[in-house]
Structure 1
Amino acid sequence: MELRHLRYFIAVAEEGSLTLAAERRLHTAQPSLSRQIRDLELEVGAQLLIRNSRGIELTPAGRAFLDHARLALAQVEVAGEAARRAAQVAKPSFVLGFLTGHEVTWLPEALRILRDDQSNIEVIVHSQLSPDLARGLLQGKLDVAFLRREDQVPGLAFKFLAKEPLVVLLPSDHRLAKHDAIRPQDIPRETFISVPKTTSPALRAVIDDYAARTGIDLTPDQEVDNISMAISMIVSTRGLALLPLYARNLLPPSVVSRPLQGEAPMIDLVIGYNRANTSSLLKVFLSKVDDLIARGSGSIS
């Protein structure tokens, strides 16, 4: 079994289509990809994929194999990253990842903690979507990430950091902006801007759960991948969005935030790291998470 077989299988499983996996991810011909998948199934000794009119579905064996295949590739990436770092003669480095926007609150405190122990340290910062941060941790490209708790990511560990309420974002001159708080039942009457399940699964789950709990329809009229796109869409459509409280750190004057009336939906922010990461700096950082929470929590409210 070769690593390329694992990569091909994961691409097909995630795209749900041999054609899309071949064209978008692997840049290869579909017949060749089909042969590679058949070779993998023969070597594994079980059918991993079912091909039907809707595309590709994983068999029970395929679902079990997928988690292990992802972990195997992640371990290879970690090994390669560790080797590259070891080959570099440079000062110690520590790579931090942030769910875009959270660096405003948490980066200064994270830097203070890291440099309390070692001033001669190179800190590298990435800002990405939560699923991308999880992949970066698995691949050994990040030491620590401030992200959502991503399910079904073997090899990662999470430490709870904070809970954030969701707030309503809307144009500053919108009629509802005059209110101190927004009634849930007012939201479905407006253009509703939300996030896709593919790029923000944790946030979308919280929004959908809130809709079910309050009995309102929050079917998105538009979906956006990040806060910048959300702001642009709010301004252009004069719509409303539900986003975590930290989003207000990034708002222009044309967009404001308002709390929800009643019990607001909450979403967790966690610190994630790879269990296989043996960095001494990571151990120091994790030992001071409580201090980080105490320092950073005052900046959230």
Structure 2
Amino acid sequence: MELRHLRYFIAVAETGSLTIAAARRLHTSQPSLSRQIKDLEDQVGAELLVRSPRGITLTEAGKVFFDHAKMALSQVNAGIEAARRAAQPGKQRFAMGFLTGQEMTWLPEAMHILRAELPNIDVTVSSDHSPDLADALVRGKLDLAFLRAEPGYDLIYRPIMQEPLVVLMPSDHRLASRDKVRARDLLGEPFIGMGNKANVLRVVIDDYLHSANVDITPSQVVDNPATLMSLVASTRGITLIPAYVQNLMPWSVTSRPLAGKAPSIDLAVGYSRTNSSPILKMFLSHVDELISRVSSPKPR
């Protein structure tokens, strides 16, 4: 059994399609992918995947094997990253990831802490969807990330901020004339929901609307903040979004707070429990300072 067998199996299991996995994830032909999966099943001695009207689904044996395959690949990727760092012991490196848009708030203060302790450190920064950041932490590609507490990942999360949700709308929307917006005011408006990459946020929004007895079916779903802004402006839709997105708003979009007790969502710093980096340990010891620096009013 080779690593490519595991990668191919995981790609098919996650996409639910041989065609999509072959073309978009693996860049190989479908017949070749099918042969690799058959070889894997022969080596395991059990059927792992089965075709159904819903596409490719996992058998019971496949479900068990999937968890172990992902864990094995994660360990291999983490080992590769560790080996690369060990090959250059004289260079101190630290990789941080941010939920898209959060770097505007947190990166300057995070860099202040790192540079104060390690002036010559080599810091790499990336922004992405929260589940992708969690995956990068597990794989060892990131040391620390500012993200949501994503379920299903063997990570440690430390909440650093609670963000209230606000109503996002076109600047000339009728609700923009109000100081605050009630949940029932959203009824009848085209509502833009959150996609799979923002599942933690989607759960918070769904729970809030359910508790307010407001039944809304999204007209569209989206993951990316920039795309969200564009849809709000172009389709005259509205949505609920964490307040930090207000930092990204163009002139054509505005926001209003929710009336009553607004729902909130945690932003956390996350890291792998297997990451023994002394730089990570040092940074975590300064998290309270980081929170204080971000929370303190800045002089104008």
Q: TM-score, normalised by structure 1?
A: 0.93
- Give SS of 1:150's match: coil
Corresponding residue for residue 282 of structure 2: 284
Corresponding residue for residue 138 of structure 2: 138
2-structure distance, mates of 1:188, 1:46: 51
Contact in 2 for aligned 1:18/1:34 (Cα 8 Å): yes
Contact in 2 for aligned 1:10/1:66 (Cα 8 Å): yes
Q: Relative to structure 1, is the Cα distance of residues 210 and 299 closer, same or farther in structure 2, using a 3 angstrom cutoff?
A: farther
Corresponding residue for residue 247 of structure 2: 249
Q: Relative to structure 1, is the Cα distance of residues 77 and 280 closer, same or farther in structure 2, using a 3 angstrom cutoff?
A: same
Aligned residues: 298
Corresponding residue for residue 218 of structure 2: 220
2-structure distance, mates of 1:212, 1:38: 45
Cα-to-partner distance string for 1:135-183 (whole Å, 9 max, x where unaligned): 22122221110011111123x2222222111110111211100111111
Query: Which letter does structure 2 place at the counterpart of 1:248?
Result: Q
1-structure distance, mates of 2:146, 2:49: 34
Corresponding residue for residue 262 of structure 1: 260
2-structure distance, mates of 1:291, 1:41: 52
Q: CA deviation at 1:268?
A: 1.3
Query: Which letter does structure 1 place at the counterpart of 2:114?
Result: L
Corresponding residue for residue 232 of structure 1: 230
1-structure distance, mates of 2:59, 2:265: 32
Contact in 2 for aligned 1:133/1:147 (Cα 8 Å): yes
RMSD: 1.9
1-structure distance, mates of 2:164, 2:67: 32
Corresponding residue for residue 170 of structure 2: 171
Corresponding residue for residue 56 of structure 2: 56
> Which deviates further from its counterpart, 77-86 or 168-177?
77-86
Query: Which letter does structure 2 place at the counterpart of 1:207?
Result: I
Q: CA deviation at 1:38?
A: 2.5
Corresponding residue for residue 127 of structure 2: 127
Corresponding residue for residue 39 of structure 2: 39
Corresponding residue for residue 77 of structure 2: 77
2-structure distance, mates of 1:284, 1:61: 43
- Give SS of 2:187's match: helix
Unaligned runs of 5+ in 2: none
Q: After the TM superposition, which parts of structure 1 deviate over 3 Å for at least 4 consecutive aligned residues?
A: 88-91, 297-300
Q: Relative to structure 1, is the Cα distance of residues 178 and 90 closer, same or farther in structure 2, using a 3 angstrom cutoff?
A: farther
2-structure distance, mates of 1:275, 1:93: 18
Q: CA deviation at 1:188?
A: 2.6
Unaligned runs of 5+ in 1: none
Contact in 2 for aligned 1:168/1:259 (Cα 8 Å): yes
Q: CA deviation at 1:299?
A: 6.5
Q: CA deviation at 1:14?
A: 0.6
Q: CA deviation at 1:83?
A: 2.0
Q: CA deviation at 1:260?
A: 1.0
Corresponding residue for residue 210 of structure 1: 208
Corresponding residue for residue 190 of structure 1: 189
Identity of aligned residues (%): 59
Corresponding residue for residue 20 of structure 2: 20
Q: CA deviation at 1:89?
A: 6.7
Q: Relative to structure 1, is the Cα distance of residues 76 and 144 closer, same or farther in structure 2, using a 3 angstrom cutoff?
A: same
Q: Relative to structure 1, is the Cα distance of residues 175 and 46 closer, same or farther in structure 2, using a 3 angstrom cutoff?
A: same
2-structure distance, mates of 1:218, 1:67: 35
Q: Relative to structure 1, is the Cα distance of residues 243 and 66 closer, same or farther in structure 2, using a 3 angstrom cutoff?
A: same
- Give SS of 1:292's match: helix
Cα-to-partner distance string for 1:22-80 (whole Å, 9 max, x where unaligned): 12211222232222223222323333223212111223332232222112111111111
Cα-to-partner distance string for 1:162-218 (whole Å, 9 max, x where unaligned): 211111011121110011111111113111112212x11111121122222222123
- Give SS of 1:269's match: strand
Corresponding residue for residue 199 of structure 2: 201
1-structure distance, mates of 2:156, 2:43: 32
Cα-to-partner distance string for 1:70-129 (whole Å, 9 max, x where unaligned): 121111111112222333476312111000111121112211221221111122111111
Contact in 2 for aligned 1:171/1:254 (Cα 8 Å): yes
- Give SS of 2:251's match: coil
